[in-house]
Amino acid sequence: MKSLREHVELLVAEARKKTFVAKACGVYYEAPVPAGAIVEGWSLCLDTYTHDSVEHFGFSAKLHPPGRGSTTEDWNTLGAIVAEVSLATGYSSELPMPEPLVPIDQIHPNATIHWTWHGDSSSVDAAYLAAIRTLLEALTPRDPAATPTTAGRNEPCPCGSGRKFKKCHGGN
């Protein structure tokens, strides 16, 4: 059985070797195709591109299989995975770990969680982060416990699942 570090090293190696051309802010970049893996109950995706000689990383994680409940152990494992991935990509261990773009306590437990950082530990452009956060906040299902709701039983659930409130988070 592979260790967490071995899984992460394979994920980073895969992310660095598959390339495609992407366009962001009117500029074309050669970037790897996102690499994915399922590690210790988490479906992971890592993508990277180089701009101005600096590697940029995007990382996302989602509980696997979808719809299962999460435990404290799952969240502790995710913290260890993020630490391993950030260090394996060159992020300095002297800095605080990268924070998710949308705070974990504000999203639905089954939503995808996203991070971004530079491999050389330099700061990510604030305007870029603000744009990405705004987009992710609009697309990320919210945790109904963190967001007060006045949804009726037959209205769509405010978590963004598309299901009726009574069949999703309104059930007893």
Tens digit of each residue's pLDDT, the chain (172 residues) = 678 888 888 888 887 776 554 444 444 444 445 567 788 888 888 887 777 777 888 888 888 877 777 788 888 888 888 888 888 888 888 888 888 888 877 777 778 888 888 888 777 777 767 777 777 777 666 665 655 556 777 887 766 667 787 777 776 5
**β-strands 54-63, 113-118 pairing:** antiparallel
- Torsion over CA: 79, 82, 88, 94 (sign): negative
Q: Output the pLDDT for position 8.
A: 83
Q: Output the pLDDT for position 143.
A: 60
Q: Output the pLDDT for position 144.
A: 58
Alpha helices in the chain (DSSP H): 4-17, 72-88, 126-139
Quote the Cα angle for 111-24-91, to 5°. Answer: 65
**How far is Cα 93 from Cα 163, in angstroms, rounded to an integer?**
42
In this structure, the number of other CB atoms found within 10 A of the CB of residue 6 comes to 12
Q: Output the pLDDT for position 25.
A: 47
**How far is Cα 61 from Cα 65, in angstroms, rounded to an integer?**
12
